[in-house]
């Protein structure tokens, strides 16, 4: 894939996605031939309907048979922490004096007013885990020798709610050294972070090979560690013996009720990420690597690296 001669914006996505357990016996609702008579039960992640499947007997008379069908929709409702009442989730971020908060779903997120705060994100999971952290900067990793070069650090940027989308908050021009925005989209099923690169990054400008990988670096308090499972996304053909990090691998991070699956990067037509249906090319994989807190500098915090191959988009 080549993005040459395209006013392109590369996006790197991160997702914390809700995991849910729904009672056994839940089934999909058929597309037709069903009359939804009434809702008989509401749960955190499901709605049970009494239905009347319609059939026709030999003389042509319609026959109705009562059944119940479960619609599965993780995050559909939450227990209001103040009233203790089962409440329908909403997709809306609320603004307050020192930041913004999403509090109308099973996942709660506090956004600091300034993304340069030590913990610009404060996430409360449905099972009570608190994940506090945020982005730190961008680096380029050389897979030949395994070294990383920091090319941009987070600088002061105040978050603005998107007037057109109540689920979205944007931190414009949030890096010192690279023109980029950080967008968050939050809702009942989780939180996504998108780094919008508004300029091309050529690893050759830092004397690094095109095989290098662009990394988004985030830091989190080490109070909760995920269960990690790793798989290889891409082998580097012909150069494994001479490379410190020949394969692109992704770690699936499981925090219990929230998981962080594989992310994606893609180019945007005419460089306009806010345009309707802006994605111009198919997505390319973004791999994750989690480093738990160790003694010494940075003790007490874990680091998340998300990387994509520069060759796929800088040519």
pLDDT digits (tens, 9 = 90+) for 51-110: 666 555 555 555 555 677 787 888 889 999 889 999 999 999 999 989 999 999 999 999
Q: Which residues pair with 160 in a beta bridge?
A: 170
244-248: long-range contacts (C-beta < 8 A, 24 or more apart)? 244/143, 244/144, 244/145, 244/146, 245/141, 245/143, 245/146, 246/143, 248/213, 248/285, 248/287, 248/307, 248/309
Token pair listed for 214: 């662009």
The β-bridge relationship of strands 175-176 and 213-221 is unpaired
57 burial (CB, 10 Å; 0-12 / 13-18 / 19+) is exposed
Type and span of the H or E element at 10 = strand 10-18
What Rg value do the Cα atoms of the chain yield, rounded? 23
Which tens digits make up the pLDDT trace of 11-66?
Answer: 444 455 665 443 333 333 344 445 556 787 888 888 887 766 655 555 555 555 56
**Vertex 139: Cα angle to 191 and 119 (nearest 5):** 40
C-alpha torsion sign, points 133, 134, 137, 142: positive
SS3 state at 270: helix
What pLDDT score does 9 carry?
37
CA distance 266 to 9: 8
What pLDDT score does 277 carry?
53
Q: Record the pTM.
A: 0.80
Which tens digits make up the pLDDT trace of 237-256?
Answer: 555 556 666 678 889 999 98
Helix runs in the chain, H state only: 311-314
Q: What is the residue whose two structure tokens read 């890096």?
A: 175
Inter-residue contact 175 to 276 (CB < 8 Å): no
């Amino acid at each position: 894939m080549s993005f040459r001669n395209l006013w392109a914006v590369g996006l790197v996505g991160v997702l914390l996605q809700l995991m849910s357990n729904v009672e056994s016996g839940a089934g999909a609702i058929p597309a037709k031939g069903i009359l939804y008579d009434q809702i008989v039960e509401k749960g955190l992640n499901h709605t049970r309907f009494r239905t009347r499947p319609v059939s026709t007997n030999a003389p042509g008379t319609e026959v109705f048979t009562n059944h119940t069908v479960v619609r599965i929709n993780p995050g559909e409702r939450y227990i209001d922490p103040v009233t203790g009442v089962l409440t329908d989730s909403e997709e809306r971020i609320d603004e307050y004096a020192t930041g913004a908060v999403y509090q109308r779903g099973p996942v709660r997120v506090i956004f600091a007013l300034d993304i340069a705060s030590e913990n610009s994100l404060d996430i409360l999971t449905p099972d009570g885990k608190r994940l506090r952290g945020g982005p730190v900067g961008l680096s380029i990793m050389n897979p030949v020798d395994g070294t990383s070069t920091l090319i941009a650090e987070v600088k002061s940027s105040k978050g603005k709610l998107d007037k057109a989308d109540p689920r979205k908050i944007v931190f414009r021009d949030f890096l010192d050294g690279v023109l980029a925005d950080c967008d968050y989209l939050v809702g009942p099923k989780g939180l996504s972070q998108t780094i919008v690169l508004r300029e091309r990054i050529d690893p050759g400008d830092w004397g690094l090979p095109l095989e290098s990988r662009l990394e988004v670096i985030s830091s989190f308090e080490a109070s909760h560690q995920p269960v990690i499972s790793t798989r290889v996304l891409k082998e580097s053909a012909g150069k494994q013996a001479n490379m410190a990090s020949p394969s692109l691998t992704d770690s699936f991070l499981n925090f219990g009720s929230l998981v962080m699956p594989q992310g994606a990067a893609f180019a945007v037509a005419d460089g306009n990420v806010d345009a309707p249906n802006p994605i111009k090319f198919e997505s390319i994989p973004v791999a994750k690597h989690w480093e738990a807190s160790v003694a010494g500098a940075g003790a007490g915090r874990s680091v998340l690296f998300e990387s994509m191959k520069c060759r796929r988009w800088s040519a």
